[in-house]
Amino acid sequence: MEFLLLIATVILFVLVFNLRKTVALLRSQISELEHHLAVVRNAAVASLEASPRKAEDHPIRHAARRAEQPPTLTEPTDLEDQITDNADILSTAPGAIEVPEETNEIDEITDSLSNTPSAAKRFEDLVGGKLPIWIGGIALIFAGFFLVRFSIEAGLFGPVARCITAIIFGITLIGLSEFGHRIPKFGQIFSDDARIGHSISGAGIAILYATLYMASELYGLFGLTGALIGVMAITILAFFLSQKHGPPTAIMGLLGGFSAPFVAGLGPESVAPLLIYLGVFTGGIFGLAIYRGWAWLALLATGGSAIWSTALLLMDVAGDVAFVGLFITLLAVAGVLTVSRTGTSFGLPKSIIQSIPLGVGLLQLMMLAPLIEFSMLGWLFFGILSIFSILLAWRDSNMTPSVPGALALSLSMIAMAFGIGNIGTVEVTAAIGFALLFGITGHVWSRREADGWLWAICGLLAPTGTLAVATLGDFGWSDSLWAMLCVTVAIPNAIMAWRTQDIPLGKIMPLATALTGILLLLALWLLTSHAYAAIMAGLVAAALAAWTRHTQRDAIVTQLVITAALGGLIMWVSANQLIGTLLASLAGETDLYRGLPAVSKMVPELLSPAIIMIGIAVVFRSVLGKMPRQFVATIGFSGTIGFLYLMLKQPLAIGPMQDFVRYGFAERIVFTNLLALVGWLLLWRNWSENIAESLRSIGIIFAGLALFRFVYFDIFLLSPTAMKQLLGGAPIANLGTLHYAGAALWLWLFARLEPSATVMPRATRALEISSLVAAIAAVMITVRQLVHGSDIATPPFTSAETYLYSAGLLVLAIAWLSRGIQTTNPVLRIAGLLLMTAVTFKVFIFDAAQLDGILRILSFLGLGIALIGIGWIHRKVMKSGEPETAAG
């Protein structure tokens, strides 16, 4: 029962496939009809435009209106009359174009429409005529089956009689399909519709197969030889009948032929006869497929043979495995050749259809290889199919996609062997052989116009992929040997990059360059100590930069940036101790020297790769572009600054707290002012145009670091007023006064630089205001140091100290106001007035409250006279400058 259901399913599949083709044909013909109607309508409108007669009354206008409303396809007579009327109008209209009678397109349209059935009629013919016939054939198959079953259940006949009855029924159906048209009166049915004969012919073949199965398996009426001969005879008959009755009969023969070994009882104990039979039978099917152009039949035959050979692989056939492998190889080759000669692709790319047998064969050989422990025989079969795929692609470019597929399967097979520990001479030789096979052919045909890119991919991935899967095996090779292998594989990749550099938009050259760079970098890492890893990355990035200059390809710039980023990552991972020290410093720790790495260690791991990155950004600045150049330069300068920080930490070697109290503030002064000096020099000097932008960007970075250090450390985190740090005993010349006054000076100088006004115009005013705040801090630090000496963090505030603050700030305010009046700088004038006002309030509210008697009177008197004098001078000077300003 299941066997017959399978037959019915396959037949229905073929019928549905034919139904889809018919529907597609109907759609194309309907589109053609609509096109012809549009031609008629456009011709009528054009004639109307050229006619001098009134548009509304013109007969062509009526024809055009009728053309705009096409009749339904169920009324071909009306459509034909309409086209005929339009043709008459066009031929008689003034200005109409003369059309020769023998080439008149409208006559051709009329003839074609008169012979074309409507869509409704075609659908009715399909559903009401074709499908019932084929379903009826399937019903006959079930009728024969149920006839035999009824005879068994009712006990009417014995086994022999039952089989004979079924055979007679099947032969009768076949006879009717061949000679039924000769029967008087009744034969008219077969003559009117050939599909009736096709249907009952397939049903007869199916019944004969089912009968033979019952006779051999259920009743034991035939032995092995008899059953096999019977199946072959029915199969030959089926293929003979398929020449006349088409695919359904051929499908019956196909199913029966592949069922024959099962019916005959062939299995793993008789592998050789089974393979011989399958080979002969499949060869016959391939011949029929070529003769009739049936690609589907060749694919089904390939699938049937593949099912049998796969089943044998899963059985215990170790002694005959060579025969199975040979059969798989020959089947794949014959299948590809057969499908390629049928010329059918089912709407898919031709290469996909033709590659199906080859792919099936390669997959089966991958199953075969572990069963024979990856012996030379399995590799040989796989190599034969790989060579066959290359020869097919060489001959037909449509088959080139099969080559990367074969390469991928070969790499998978090598990986499977290495992964399970098979790393003997046979496996290594096979891996090298496949790498050379696909690699050499890929290089040879990499410049073919149509499919060169696929060959180039094979040429790149064959050696590189083989090296990659080799890492799965435990070979015990040294780092030097692995490095040599990386260089060996990198050489052909570099050759591919050189050969494909003139292809404008190709992706092969960047891919080849990337693989070459990766392999060379791995080789350099394996040959050198890990301390030089960042240097090696920098050297590869430099090589990529030189290659970029030669090729002018943006894709190589991207690879350069990635390599530089990798080098920077390695660089800073190696300098993790230095990063930890920097983070501890930001957290406010003072004992930093113990966490610093050795200078000798940081020279190769930090400074050298940083210098290489800076060199790349400078030497190849014209080819990198702005963003890549800045990125690479930032990596280099970050490493350089980190090393500079390490060096500046060495002289004082501040460790315990007492060392920080003695030298901590001095060390920060050196750091901050050095950064400020470098930043100011880079921003102050007029550089050449090609490097000005980069150097100014670096100057801004240095200046920003100096400002950050001053604000973060010297004002908030480690201010000498909050944490004990020795400033020196000299008044004014102490470290505190010099540092804060120097910060005010640097900020004012940075505000006066041209880049501050052009690049960051809004920052100028902020820098000026920050400079004034730093000056106030300098005055307060000076006063406190003057009162308390070197340590200004621990002593308490005194009344004399508060008076000195007022006096010092008042002097500063007068200085700002005077300088502002002199230079007409509004910032200084306003700042001087504001500071003077603030000091005045301080004096009245806090300072004067602590004085008594004559001292209070004198202080207020002096303060009042000073303020009045300053106000009078300011107003007089500003008024005297107004006419000049207006005149100017």
> Beta-carbon neighbour count of residue 647 at 10 Å?
12
Name the pLDDT band for 194 (thresholds 50, 70, 90).
low
Name the pLDDT band for 8 (thresholds 50, 70, 90).
very low
Cα distance between residue 8 and residue 252, in whole Å: 10
Q: For position 570, what pLDDT does the model report?
A: 94
**C-beta pairs of 175-182 under 8 Å, 24+ apart in sequence:** 176/200, 177/201, 177/204, 177/241, 177/245, 178/241, 178/244
Least confident of 396-405, 455-464, 673-682: 396-405
Cα distance between residue 151 and residue 144, in whole Å: 11
Nearest to 64 by CA among 87, 40, 88: 40
Burial tier of 91 (Cβ tally within 10 Å: 0-12, 13-18, 19+): middle
Return the structure tokens found at 550.
């030669």
Q: Is residue 592 within 8 Å of residue 584, measured between CB atoms?
A: yes
Average pLDDT over residues 27-55: 62
DSSP annotation of 505: T
Name the pLDDT band for 73 (thresholds 50, 70, 90).
very low
Q: For position 744, what pLDDT does the model report?
A: 95
Nearest to 556 by CA among 565, 566, 547, 568: 547
- Range 201-229 burial, b when 16+ CB lie within 10 A, else e: bbbbbbbbbbbbbbbbeeeeebeeeebbe
More confident residue, 261 or 503: 503
More confident residue, 240 or 460: 460
More confident residue, 159 or 219: 159
Average pLDDT over residues 603-618: 94
Q: For position 53, what pLDDT does the model report?
A: 46
> pLDDT digit string (tens) for 368-389?
777 666 778 788 888 888 898 8
Give CA 455 to chain center in angstroms: 20
Percent residues over pLDDT 70 in the chain: 64
Burial tier of 144 (Cβ tally within 10 Å: 0-12, 13-18, 19+): buried
pTM recorded for the entire structure: 0.64
Cα distance between residue 556 and residue 537, in whole Å: 15
Name the pLDDT band for 786 (thresholds 50, 70, 90).
very high
Q: For position 340, what pLDDT does the model report?
A: 77
Return the structure tokens found at 348.
């898919």
Average pLDDT over residues 650-677: 89
Return the structure tokens found at 521.
């970098």
Most confidently predicted of 44-48, 188-192, 811-815: 811-815
Residue 742, C-beta contacts closer than 8 angstroms, at least 6 positions apart:
669, 673
Cα distance between residue 405 and residue 362, in whole Å: 9
Name the pLDDT band for 11 (thresholds 50, 70, 90).
very low
Q: For position 759, what pLDDT does the model report?
A: 64
Least confident of 7-11, 366-370, 819-823: 7-11
Return the structure tokens found at 745.
């000076």
Give Rg (Cα) of the chain. 48
Q: For position 783, what pLDDT does the model report?
A: 94
Q: For position 25, what pLDDT does the model report?
A: 61
Q: Around 267, how many Cα atoms within 13 Å sit in the side-chain half-sphere?
A: 6
Number of residues that this document lists for the chain: 888
> pLDDT digit string (tens) for 303-338?
888 887 888 777 766 566 777 878 888 888 888 888
Residue 854 has pLDDT above 80, yes or no: no
Average pLDDT over residues 90-110: 43
Cα distance between residue 603 and residue 611, in whole Å: 10
Q: What is the DSSP string of 549-617?
A: HHH--HHHHHHHHHHHHHHHHHHHHHTHHHHHHHHHHHTT----GGGPPPHHHHIIIIIHHHHHHHHHH
Residue 451 has pLDDT above 70, yes or no: yes
Q: For position 102, what pLDDT does the model report?
A: 40
Name the pLDDT band for 105 (thresholds 50, 70, 90).
very low
More confident residue, 257 or 552: 552
Q: For position 203, what pLDDT does the model report?
A: 65
Return the structure tokens found at 479.
């780092």
Q: For position 88, what pLDDT does the model report?
A: 47
> Beta-carbon neighbour count of residue 452 at 10 Å?
20
Q: Is residue 385 within 8 Å of residue 406, measured between CB atoms?
A: yes
Return the structure tokens found at 710.
């001053």
Average pLDDT over residues 751-763: 75
Q: Is residue 381 within 8 Å of residue 332, measured between CB atoms?
A: no
Name the pLDDT band for 600 (thresholds 50, 70, 90).
very high
Q: For position 493, what pLDDT does the model report?
A: 94
Residue 140 has pLDDT above 60, yes or no: no
Average pLDDT over residues 553-579: 92
> pLDDT digit string (tens) for 709-722?
999 999 889 999 98
Name the pLDDT band for 12 (thresholds 50, 70, 90).
very low
Q: For position 651, what pLDDT does the model report?
A: 87
Residue 486 has pLDDT above 90, yes or no: yes
Residue 564 has pLDDT above 90, yes or no: yes
Q: For position 294, what pLDDT does the model report?
A: 77
Q: For position 175, what pLDDT does the model report?
A: 73
Residue 555 has pLDDT above 80, yes or no: yes
Residue 362, C-beta contacts closer than 8 angstroms, at least 6 positions apart:
332, 382, 385, 386, 405, 406, 409
Q: Is residue 624 within 8 Å of residue 545, measured between CB atoms?
A: yes
Percent residues over pLDDT 90 in the chain: 27
Average pLDDT over residues 491-497: 94
Nearest to 545 by CA among 531, 566, 560, 528: 560
Cα distance between residue 833 and residue 816, in whole Å: 8
Cα distance between residue 423 and residue 411, in whole Å: 14
Average pLDDT over residues 833-841: 82
State the average pLDDT for the chain. 76
Residue 751 has pLDDT above 80, yes or no: yes
Q: What is the greatest pairwise CA distance in the chain?
A: 154
> pLDDT digit string (tens) for 862-884?
666 666 666 665 565 555 554 44
